Amino acid sequence: MATQVDSIRTIYSQPEIQERIKEMGQQISSDYAKLEHPVVIGVMKGAFCFLADIVRQIKTPDPLQIEFVRLASYGSATESSGSVQTPYLELPNISRRNILVVEDIIDSGRTARFFMDYLKDQFNPATLKMAVFLDKPSRRVVPMEADYVGFTIEDLFVVGYGLDYAEKYRELPYLGELKLGGG
Ligand code: IMP
Ligand code: MG
């Protein structure tokens, strides 16, 4: 039997992504110019590329503090399950701070909604915003809008630049639509 290989169609190239992130960085820098000691929280695993690139484009008078959590919504490989898991949710005391959450994608909105509500309850932040690399508004199940959106995309399953299919393809420097081999 021949091996069925997945194919990946490029949606945003590496230079297109970097260009967009520069613009987002300028916007965030100007919005945070007067906010004290901002804390950036990256949501693993999917946000690792976006986080690394966006923080290097944010210039604020006060230096950034960078924290990580790991959230997951297990399900089949291309559909999230609806329940948000919290494999790593350790944060220092960031009560009343200016918090910027950095996520890979808002799909159903469940993960983002859960985490924003959690941060509000736990830390009563001075400000709380979210920057996402991608938004798929047509898939929303719970209301959720990010403050900063890299790209708004159609209802496609995408991989690369941190996003995976069954833990594969996160390392690709571009974003592509995944077409599964054999179907
Ligand atoms: P939610 O449905 O908004 O809670 O998103 C849950 C998670 O599903 C996201 O943080 C991503 O990790 C993952 N996800 C959603 N859409 C895609 C996609 O097109 N490719 C890869 N991962 C995705
Ligand atoms: Mg994710």
Give the per-residue pLDDT at 181: 86
Residue 80: closest CA among 105, 52, 62, 55: 105
Q: Which residues contact 121 (CB under 8 A, 6 or more apart)?
A: none
Contact assessment for residue 165 and residue 182, using Cβ atoms and an 8 Å cutoff: no
With residue 118 as reference, give the H or E element that holds it: helix 110-123
Angle at which helices 48-55 and 14-31 cross, to 10°:
60
Q: Are 130 and 113 in contact (CB under 8 A)?
A: no
Separation of first and last alpha carbons in the chain? 15
CA of 48 to the centre of ligand 2 (A): 9
Give the per-residue pLDDT at 49.
98
Residue owning the nearest CA to atom 11 of ligand 1 = 105
pLDDT digit string (tens) for the chain, length 183 residues: 666 789 999 999 999 999 999 999 999 999 999 999 999 999 999 999 999 999 999 999 999 999 999 999 866 667 777 889 999 999 999 999 999 999 999 999 999 999 999 999 999 999 999 999 999 999 999 999 999 999 999 999 999 999 999 999 999 999 999 999 875
Residues with CB under 6 A from ligand 1: 46, 73, 80, 104-112, 157-159, 163
Mutation test residue for ligand 1: of 69, 80, 102, the one with most atoms within 8 Å of CB: 80
Ligand 1 atom nearest to CA at 114: 4
Per the CB < 8 A criterion, the answer to whether 138 and 107 are in contact is no
| Token pair belonging to 72 | 């997951």
The full set of domain ranges for the chain reads: 11-74+84-164
Query: Which pair of structure tokens corresponds to residue 66?
Result: 């960078």
The 8-class DSSP code of residue 139 comes to: G
**Domain covering 11-74+84-164 assigned CATH 3.40.50.2020 in the classification:** yes
Take residue 123 and report the two structure tokens written for it. 């830390």
Residue having the nearest C-alpha atom to atom 9 of ligand 1: 105
H or E stretch at 19: helix 14-31
Distance CA 7, CA 80 (A): 22
pLDDT for position 78: 76
CA of 128 relative to ligand 2 center, distance in Å: 18
107 annotated active-site: yes
- Considering every ligand atom shown, identify the ligand nearest to the alpha carbon of residue 50 and give its number: 2
Run of H or E including 55: helix 48-55
Nearest ligand to the C-alpha of residue 154?
A: 1
Going from the Cα of 48 to the center of ligand 1, the distance in angstroms, rounded, reads: 14
